[in-house]
Amino acid sequence: MTHYVPLMMNLEERRCVIVGGGTVAERKVASLIEAGAEVTLISPTATNRLQGFHSEGRMDWIQRGYQAGDLAGAFLAYAATDRQGINDEVVLEAEGLGIPVNHAGDGSRGSFITPSIVRRGGLILAVSTSGAGPGASRALSREIMERYGDDYETYVDFLSFVRTAVKRRVQDRQMRARLYKSLAEMDILSSIREGRFQPWNEAEVIAWMDSYREE
């Protein structure tokens, strides 16, 4: 089995080309639009939802079959037609251009695959079976959804707020390390769950940092 390396990609304003306009393409496009990517769909037909994205000006649609050269300028590509020969051609072009590519009809032919995702604000839990059983990935992520609720979003926001303040105000590396260690050990999740958590303001973060300076 392929040993995949998970990556978290920032696709904001990056050109992503999706070939094929069925339900599989629709799922990939929806998550790319949500991420702020510049999406180009290449397909003679498109699902109602994809047509909606196009008419709302949220993606470009080249309404015809794939032609060699369609990936010029792409940062990322998806081959998601129901014709595996076409998907293979898209992969070949992408690889020639050094563009990462997903093959929806046979994951092992592309250079990346898509995991099933649970998002809680900045927290992302991704499940993949390395292509072995996408339906099982979906089922597992539904289990994870039950276990990890919205309290994690509040928690991740808190971590981001406090760490940003530390990075801005504390230059000493040892002091930073002590603060981060203490932050990781703080049981903020329990207080969020019990409804006791009050988000800190800037003054409270500074007071917390100062309490470490005095020790």
Ligand X SMILES: C[C@@]1(CC(=O)O)c2cc3[nH]c(cc4nc(cc5[nH]c(cc(n2)[C@H]1CCC(=O)O)[C@@](C)(CC(=O)O)[C@@H]5CCC(=O)O)C(CC(=O)O)=C4CCC(=O)O)c(CCC(=O)O)c3CC(=O)O
Ligand Y SMILES: NC(=O)C1=CN([C@@H]2O[C@H](COP(=O)(O)OP(=O)(O)OC[C@H]3O[C@@H](n4cnc5c(N)ncnc54)[C@H](O)[C@@H]3O)[C@@H](O)[C@H]2O)C=CC1
**Candidate list 11, 17, 18, 19; residue touching ligand Y; CB under 6 A:** 19
90 in contact with ligand X (CB under 6 A): no
Two tokens at 160?
């981001």
Centroid of chain to Cα 7: 9
Using an 8 Å Cβ cutoff, are 14 and 76 in contact?
Answer: yes
| Residue 117: CB atoms within 10 Å | 14
**Residue from 49, 138, 167, 181 binding ligand X (CB under 6 A):** 138
Q: In terms of C-beta distances under 8 Å and separation of at least 24 residues, what long-range contacts does 60-69 make, across chains too?
A: 61/21, 66/19, 66/42, 66/90, 68/93, 69/93
Q: Which is nearer to ligand Y, 51 or 191 (CB)?
A: 51
When the beta carbons of 43 and 102 are compared against ligand X, the nearer one is 102
Return the residues of window 102-121 that contact ligand X according to CB under 6 A. Answer: 102, 104-107, 113-116
Which listed option, ligand X, ligand Y, none, makes contact with residue 86 (CB within 5 to 8 Å by class)?
ligand Y
| One-letter amino acid for residue 133 of the chain | G
Residue 130 contact, options ligand Y, ligand X, none, Cβ 5-8 Å cut-off depending on partner type? ligand X
CA distances from 200 to 66, 125, 161 (A): 53, 26, 9
Tokens at 147, concatenated: 């276990």
CB 16 within 8 A of CB 76: yes
CB 53, min distance to ligand X, A: 16
Bridge-based pairing of strands 123-127 and 116-120 is antiparallel
Among the listed residues 11, 18, 24, 39, the single contact to ligand Y using CB under 6 A = 24
Closest CB to ligand X: residue number: 107
Closest to ligand Y by CB, 26 vs 38, is 26
User: Which residues here bind ligand X, judged by CB under 6 A?
Assistant: 27-28, 102, 104-107, 113-116, 128-131, 133-135, 137-138, 141
